[in-house]
Amino acid sequence: EAGVAQSPRYKIIEKRQSVAFWCNPISGHATLYWYQQILGQGPKLLIQFQNNGVVDDSQLPKDRFSAERLKGVDSTLKIQPAKLEDSAVYLCASSNPWRGSSYNEQFFGPGTRLTVL
Amino acid sequence: GNSVTQMEGPVTLSEEAFLTINCTYTATGYPSLFWYVQYPGEGLQLLLKATKADDKGSNKGFEATYRKETTSFHLEKGSVQVSDSAVYFCALSTFTGGGNKLTFGTGTQLKVEL
């Protein structure tokens, strides 16, 4: 079974430029997550989708970050314009919700390392 | 709100040494607890989990017991190998309407030397 795919793996941009990251979840996984992992910190949830609807975007800086999940499969995370403090690894994860279960495992992609100069 | 506190690294051990990485949590309700591992250049992988008090999660020689009375979930391994060198994240999960929300600790880097 193929895992969560992300691209690009690395991106270097200058501040005030725009950047987009792509994620392809595991086939059949209805829930998709984007996390931001700043160096030396644990991942922080930015946004959670259930199919193509947003479940939680409370920690997404909406003035510069946006995300979409068209057709409930692939997702794109965009930053416009980027700031120095956006330098981080952006992780995508997916899971397959199961009604009645107290937990469904999240499977993580390899991440995109963003450097903002 | 929910939070996870884990011991700072890096932790450097000799091969075959005993490993303990401390983790404590604060949460409302009854969270599930996890240890994730991140090997160099790879994504996060679930190492083990425990979903209720007194449960013991185990995998690849690693163990952790869900201690509700001390709000802890310490990771242990009796004999580490060089291949265990990685960053280890403690996390908790609370179920929301749309799925599980993970809250991570800051991670502990483990270096195992020959």
Per-residue burial over B37-46, b if 16 or more Cβ lie within 10 Å, else e, is bbeeeebbeb
Among candidates B42, B101, B105 on the partner chain, residue whose Cβ is nearest the Cβ of A45: B101
Q: Residue length, chain A?
A: 117
Test B107 with A31 for CB contact under 8 angstroms: no
Question: Rounded to 5 degrees, what are φ and ψ at A110?
Answer: -75, -15
Give pLDDT tens digits for A26-82: 998 889 999 999 998 899 999 999 888 998 899 999 999 999 998 889 999 999 999
Please state the separation of Cα A49 from the chain's center in Å.
Answer: 10
The residue of chain A nearest to residue B50, with distances taken between CA atoms, is: A103
Cα–Cα distance, B65 to B78 (Å, whole number): 15
CA B79 from chain center: how many Å? 17
> What are the angstrom distances between the C-alpha of B75 and each of A12, A88, B26, B46, B88?
36, 27, 17, 13, 9
Nearest-Cα residue of chain A relative to residue B48: A105
- How does residue B99 score in pLDDT terms, banded at 50, 70 and 90? low
Tell me which residue in A41, A55, A106 faces B102 most closely, judged by beta carbons: A106
User: pLDDT tens digits, residue range B25-75?
Assistant: 999 888 999 999 999 888 899 999 999 999 999 999 999 999 999 999 999
* Structure confidence by residue, pLDDT tens digits, A79-117: 999 999 999 999 999 988 665 455 668 889 999 999 999
Cα distances (angstroms) measured from residue A33 to each of A91, A94, B59, B66, B98: 8, 6, 25, 26, 11
Contacts of B104 in chain A (CB under 8 A): 42-44
How far CA B57 is from CA of A32, A61, A108, B73, B95, in Å, comes to 25, 36, 20, 10, 19
Query: What is the model's pLDDT at position B97?
Result: 61
Question: How far is residue B95's CA from residue A39's CA, in Å, rounded to a whole number?
Answer: 27
Q: How many CB pairs under 8 A join A and B?
A: 66
Which residues 68-87 in chain B show a CB within 8 A of chain A? none
Angle formed at CA A61 by CA B92 and CA A31, multiple of 5 degrees = 45
Q: Do B100 and A103 touch (CB under 8 A)?
A: yes
Query: Are A31 and B99 a contacting pair at CB < 8 A?
Result: yes
In chain B, the residue whose alpha carbon lies closest to the alpha carbon of A92 is: B43
Answer whether A102 sits within 8 Å of B32, measured CB to CB. Answer: yes
